[in-house]
Structure formats: C-alpha cells, structure tokens
Structure 1
Amino acid sequence: MIQTVLGLVSKDQLGFCHSHEHLFLADGQPAKVNPVLRLDEYNLSISELKLFKSVGGQALIDAQPLGCGRMEKFLAAASKDCGVNIVASTGFHKMAFYDKSHWIHSFTEDQLSRIFIRELTEGMFVNTDHSPPSETVSFKAGNIKVAYDTERQFDHEKKWFVAAAHACIETGFPIMCHVESTKQGMDIAEFFIKQGVPPHCLIICHMDRTLDELNLHRELAEMGIYLEYDTIGRFKYHSDEEEAELIVMMEESGLSCQILIGLDTTRARMKNYGGHLGLDYIQESFIPLLKKYGLNNEVIHQITVVNPAEAFSKK
C-alpha cells in the first residue's frame, strides 16, 4: 500500500506518477534562499494540478518536509478537490532552508526519529517552520525526505540521517535522498545500507544533474536502489535529449525497473505561476521524446506507473 494524504491506496490505484514535485511551498526561509521556492497560492497550484490531471496525471510525490514550508492542509485539500493522489514527506531538507534558531538544529537523534515516525503513523505536525512540533492534523506523510547537499551537513554525528534510517526501519516507508552529485548518491546509499535500511527502500534524487560517473548509476540500480531523474526540462544542466539518452542507456542495461521521473517543480516551472514548463510537460513533451529515442509504451508505463507504486509502497 502507498500512504497518501487522504489515506492508503493500493499499488494499482496510484496511477501515472511524478515522483518528485513541490506543489505548495509557504513563504519563508526557502524563499529567502531562492524566490522561486514559494508556491503558496492555492488557486494557482490547483490550476496546475488540474492541468496535470487533464493529460493523464494521477499521482505525485510532494517532496517538501516539515519545518521549511510544507503546507499540510493545502496538500490534503488539493488532493480532495482534484482527485489526484498526493504523497507527503516527513524528514528534513538542506540546512540552508532553516534559520540558525530553528528547532531542527537542537533536537536530538531520538527526538527527530520520534517526530518522523509520528508523522508517518499518526498524522503530520503543522506550523513547524517557526515552532517545534506540537499541533497535528490527521493527514499522514508517506515518505521520508533527507538532504545531503554539503559535506558539512553530513556531519560527524549524522543525527538527522540516523533518525531517518530508524523511521524507515520501524515503519517500512521509503527514504528519498536529495543529493548534489553522483558520488554523494553512492555515499548516502552506502551509509543507509550500513544503518540497516534495505536498498529497495532508498530513492536517490537528482541523479541526472551532471550525467557523469554512469557506472555508479548502474551499480546503485543493480543494488535495488531507485534512481530519480528529475532534471527534465532544466536546460541549465543539460538538454532533454541527453536526459533521454541516459534513460535509454539504463533501459538497455536492463535497469529501467529502478528509474523514477519528475520535474522537481518551482515557481519558475509552473505555467500558472508564470513559469515556462507546467506539470503537463512530461506527458506532452518528454514522453514523446522518449518514444523518438526508441522506448516503447511498456517501458514508459514501467517508469511512470509501476516503479513509483513499488518505490513508494510501505514495505
């Protein structure tokens, strides 16, 4: 089963899924770091979600964890209003998205673990951007987000990462790992496996940003780890043609069963916020490109429907 904000759904109910999005983001510390990290207008995000649904979209993973702009009530309302499955995330993001006085810096490993587990089993905390977790809603998270963006964040205690590992092992929900490089992807995978996290519970995000060390892509996928390619339509990194070539290479290596895709949306990439892509981009532009590169409907269905249902299911 997959845990959405409106409850559990079976694998065959999840449907066509974007495996990494940001549907809502409150104005706060992330927007101070980058103004495009603000998606707080309900009607605009709803219009974008309806656009996604109009081209066959049925589910998305919202990758914003607590304490840095997650909008829990909006996620549940949007899912109900649009009839789209939405999976919310607990966990933590890059430390730049929390000011120096934020509670996440001072909480212990055990406190963090208990918070993550409660969000997965009882209900998410609200109003945690400026105050420690206290008030809850009934909507539950179904994914554990972690972020490894600098060597400094991956500190000697690694308390945030250990807390996420404990939450995964106790609840069976997957861990989604933000990384900044292919090497970091391997580092974080090895760390979690040493903690006892099964490889099939790991999803490594942004593995397509640099398109280097492709041998590590194969190695991680062969371990049973899911690789998330979510730099589609982000041309400052590379072209969509290069992205397609990467996916074809993985398919030819017999590893398409470990691939997930998404847009990792921001204000700059949502049409209804004035952006240049829109949540219909994968269906309308990228999938036709994949077909031009020789991928058939069966492989595309595997990547967009079957794999997300497996990756985000409770183990």
Structure 2
Amino acid sequence: MEDKFFRTVLGDKSTDEMGLTYSHEHIVIENSYVTVKHSEFLLNDVDKISEELINFYNAGGRTVVDTMPANSGRNILKSVEVSRRSGVNIIVPTGIHLEIYYPDNHWRYTISEDELTRLFIADINEGIDEFDYTASTVKRIAHKAGLIKLATGDEPFTKHQEMIFRAVVNAHLETGAPILTHTNFGRQALEQAKLFEKLGARLEHVVLSHVDRAKEIDYNKAVMDVGVRVEYDSAFRWKKEEPNHTLQLLEKLLPEYPDQIVMGMDMAKNVYWKSYGGSPGMNYLIKTIPDFLKSKGMEEYFQKLFFDNPKRLYAFSNTIG
C-alpha cells in the first residue's frame, strides 16, 4: 500500500509531513467580484501574508487549508509564493463558493454537471488555471488543487446547488480529493451530511465548516453521527457577554467524537490579520486552545484536533492523480 499523501500547491507530500494544521483558512483573496463591494475581504499582499505565515510557522504551524475555490478570488501564483517564503504547506481548493461570490451571469449557472466535474478533476489532476477562469483562455500550470469546496446558505438546497453536490462527489470519487464545505452558521449542515451520504462520498474525507456556529450540542452530534467531520473556527468570534460556544462544544463533544473535529481560524477579513494591523492573528489557536484543554484536563485532544484528525481527513482517499 502506498503512503497516504496530501496535495499542496508545491506538490504532493506524505501526510507524515503535515504537522500542526489549521483546517479552514483564507490565505489569498485576490481582487474579485466580492472584494469590489467588500474590501475587508481583500487579502492579496504577498509580503503581509508571508509575514503572518512565517509567524505561524515559528509558532509551530506547518499546514493551512485555504478555502477560496474556483473564480472567487483564488490566485495560485501568490499562493505558491507565500508557501515558498514561509515554509507553510498550503492546500488550495477547486470547487464553487456561495452564489454571492459570483455575478448573476456567471458561467456556474450554465455549465453542465459533467463539465463542472471535469473542471474540478482538471484542477486536481492537471493543474489550476493561472488566470482562475477569468480570461478567454485556460492556462493550466503545475500547481494543483488539493481538495474540493462547495457552499450552501440558509435555505433548502436549490437544484443548482444539488448539481454542484453531484459534480463535487463525482470528482471526489474519481480523484480521491477530500471535500470541504461552507455552512452559514451551521445551517443545513445535517442536510449536507445526509446528501453526501446518499451520493456515496467517503465521509471520513468530508468536512463541514462553521458548525460550531449552530451552538447546539445535539445538532452537532446529529451531524457527526452521519459520519462526516466538522470544523470549528469561531473560538475568537463570540461576544464577551455570551458563552464561548465553540469551547463548550469542544468540552462536551471531544470525548465522544475525538476523531471527527478539526479547527481553524477562517480569517477571511484582513482586520483579523496582525500583519494587516488587526487581531487576533493566526496564532490565536496555538496560544489559547492548549491552555483551555489543560484547564479541563483534556490535553490529549490537542494532538487530535491539529495533527491526527487533519492528517486523516485531508489525505487523498485513493492513489489516483
């Protein structure tokens, strides 16, 4: 049996090299449809991004999962540059983001399931388009996608979204690439999990993001009982006057679901980056989660959250590609 690998922008690596991993980040967000209206999402300064990642590396961080999929702010050349400068492994996705990241006349609304499947597979197996599908031509380069992303909102899935689910699972089963999703405050997470199960996805390689925003312990249990993984990234977001629901969920659920939870920062806004003059900065989890776990007598789960679980989750589930 071949060693398990994960796919970074600089090539495939053994999962033994993954190290401390943040499971949902936004490392590069280039000028794009969404940043025109929301400049706080602009993350395209290579020097500042590299500075933040170098500090992350010096604190023990080794891998980050970027979550900007096709034609929504992805810039593969900048991702490659900051990975080389910092030494941090970066996993970049293919896939499709929420509808709000694209204009109403975007090609996502007219492309077929088969065409979308083949686009995802090409990003993974051949290389990402240097122009990220913004030009009249496609120029694939050597740097490949290492996972597939999709996103849903507050409402029940549309037919268009269901088509994206099918294309994502098609590409996942063909290539072995893992799947990551966006949920709005955890809404529709259970429905996502059940649809992935119905479509035959390898659930141990599927992670649903932001489910801690749903707050409810029983709901998080129901999602994980389907067999998927969940990603928590709101530990720094809760208001001071309310409970830290992320930490409460960790305390209650880690003993029962030790292999199904991962964590990240999801710092999509530049005001969260210290290198952009904001806070709390990428090292927040490295600094705070060990102390929290120690205070609860749960120190052993740090290894699970940031090392063991990402290592299994983000490994390719077959040797194709």
- Scaled to the shorter chain, the TM-score interval is over 0.9
Residue number in structure 1 paired with 2:202? 198
CA distance in 2, matches of 1:59, 1:96: 28
Q: Is the 8 A contact 1:22 1:264 kept in 2?
A: yes
- Does 1:51 find its partner at 2:86? no
The alignment-based identity, stated in percent, is: 28
CA distance in 2, matches of 1:61, 1:123: 17
- Does 1:217 find its partner at 2:223? no
Query: How far apart are 1:127 and its partner, in Å?
Result: 1.8
When residues 7 and 130 of structure 1 are mapped into structure 2, their CA distance, relative to the original with a 3 A threshold, is closer
When residues 174 and 102 of structure 1 are mapped into structure 2, their CA distance, relative to the original with a 3 A threshold, is same
**Residue in structure 2 matching 1:185, options 184, 189, 194:** 189
Residue number in structure 1 paired with 2:261? 259
Mapping of residues 230-269 of structure 1, within 5 Å? 230-236=233-239, 241-253=244-256, 255-265=257-267, 266-269=269-272
Q: Is the 8 A contact 2:181 2:207 kept in 1?
A: yes
Query: How far apart are 1:224 and its partner, in Å?
Result: 2.8
When residues 124 and 251 of structure 1 are mapped into structure 2, their CA distance, relative to the original with a 3 A threshold, is same
Give the AA of the match of 2:310: P
Q: Is the 8 A contact 1:148 1:154 kept in 2?
A: no
SS in 1 for 2:201: coil
Query: What is the root-mean-square deviation in Å for CA atoms of aligned residues?
Result: 1.9
Give the AA of the match of 1:120: I
Q: Is the 8 A contact 1:165 1:192 kept in 2?
A: yes
Give the AA of the match of 1:252: P
CA distance in 2, matches of 1:176, 1:132: 28
When residues 239 and 72 of structure 1 are mapped into structure 2, their CA distance, relative to the original with a 3 A threshold, is farther
- Does 1:300 find its partner at 2:278? no
**Residue in structure 1 matching 2:276, options 273, 292, 301:** 273
Residue number in structure 2 paired with 1:37? 41
- Does 1:130 find its partner at 2:172? no
- Does 1:106 find its partner at 2:105? no
Give the AA of the match of 1:309: K
Q: Deviations over 1:205-256 (max 9, x none)?
A: 00011302x2232233233311100112112598674321210111232x12
Alignment gaps of 5+ in structure 1: none
- Does 1:290 find its partner at 2:293? yes
CA distance in 2, matches of 1:284, 1:242: 18
Give the AA of the match of 1:194: K
Query: How far apart are 1:32 and its partner, in Å?
Result: 3.3
**Residue in structure 2 matching 1:12, options 12, 16, 25:** 16
CA distance in 2, matches of 1:171, 1:197: 12
Alignment gaps of 5+ in structure 2: none
Give the AA of the match of 2:104: K
CA distance in 1, matches of 2:248, 2:110: 44
Bigger mean CA deviation after superposition, 235-244 or 6-15: 235-244
**Residue in structure 2 matching 1:62, options 54, 63, 66:** 66
Query: How far apart are 1:195 and its partner, in Å?
Result: 1.1
Query: How far apart are 1:63 and its partner, in Å?
Result: 0.6
Bigger mean CA deviation after superposition, 44-53 or 235-244: 235-244
CA distance in 1, matches of 2:60, 2:210: 24
